[in-house]
Structure 1
Amino acid sequence: MSRALPVALASLVLAACTPGGPAKHGDAATAVQVADALCRPTPVGRQTTGCYLTLTAAADDRLMSVASPVAGRAQVHESRMESNMMMMHQVEGGLPLPAGQAVELKPGGNHIMLLAVAEPLKAGDTVALTLTFASAPPVEVTATVGQPALTDYGHASH
């Protein structure tokens, strides 16, 4: 038996024993680790934006939903080519998080959409996100508002 399984099981046990509400980003007992949380700014009049981050689950899990106090709704979306056009769709049934594998939510791929954003988000602001999983306890994350890094094609997509 590999050493990864006992470590993953110990992480789950610790996460299950964590008292209180959602785990905070970076807690040792968090069964899903979150890194590089970023949301795009919203120009005045625009009420939607994308958020990106990297998730690493200790055991197989699924990102089921996202909530934020700055948005009326938040959804997990996937982007894919359909009839030679890039299309976005809400992920049904949760986004798979294979144990120990970093899952990157990024422009042009899987990402979080904030809808009905009440106030414009400006570079340097922060956005609270609550991530809910199928098995792991919820995780509260603070995302920075800014522009994502450029892609290989020289532009940030989304």
Structure 2
Amino acid sequence: MKPALYLAAVLLTACSGEAPAPDVAVQDAWVRATLPGQSVGAAYLTIANRGGGTDRLVGVSTPAGNAALHASTMDGGVMRMRALDGLDIPANATVDLKPHGTHVMITGVAQPLSTGQSVPLRLTFERSGVRDVTAAVRPGNAL
């Protein structure tokens, strides 16, 4: 067999198998309480991928307002925030969405989010589909 044909056969064989599947679970979801009249909130959570395949968080929604992924970073002593179009969830890894880092920004909050309440969140993953979780509302100074 010619080297080019052999290489093509090897590559086709390698590509014919299915990619390992992710095994995504969402844990410890919480939302920071808001003050009356405050229309912006934030949600935090942990995403554990126990599977051998990568995944990507591509959407977040909540009936509490408009939800979007954001990342906060310090730049010259100034906190900057930017919207994300998705978040990679590596195989066999845990990704934390936490204060002062990557989080879910909730805008257009019509009613105050009070400590002790809960907020439903719907997370959409590229490979794992939809995960519905309930986020507990914690005090505004919670970390």
TM-score over 0.5 (shorter chain): yes
- State which of 122, 145, 157 in structure 1 corresponds to 2:137: 145
Query: Contact 1:97 / 1:103 at 8 angstroms: preserved in 2?
Result: yes
Structure 1 residue 81, shift from structure 2 partner: 1.9
Structure 1 residue 110, shift from structure 2 partner: 0.5
Q: Which runs of 5+ in 1 are unaligned?
A: 1-7, 13-30, 151-155
Q: Distance in 2 between matches of 1:127 and 1:86?
A: 26
Structure 1 residue 65, shift from structure 2 partner: 1.1
Quick check: which has more Rg, 1 or 2?
Answer: 2
Query: Contact 1:127 / 1:144 at 8 angstroms: preserved in 2?
Result: yes
Q: Which has the higher strand share?
A: 2
Q: Which runs of 5+ in 2 are unaligned?
A: 1-18
Q: Distance in 2 between matches of 1:62 and 1:129?
A: 16
Q: Distance in 2 between matches of 1:96 and 1:123?
A: 30
TM-score (structure 2 length as normaliser): 0.79
Aligned amino acid, residue 70 of structure 2: H
Aligned amino acid, residue 77 of structure 1: H
Q: Distance in 2 between matches of 1:42 and 1:148?
A: 6
Report whether the alignment pairs 1:61 with 2:58: no
Determine helix, strand or coil for the equivalent of 2:133: strand
Report whether the alignment pairs 1:111 with 2:103: yes
The aligned counterpart of 1:153 is: none
Q: Percent identity, aligned pairs only?
A: 38
TM-score (structure 1 length as normaliser): 0.72
Q: Distance in 2 between matches of 1:44 and 1:56?
A: 34
Alignment RMSD:
1.9
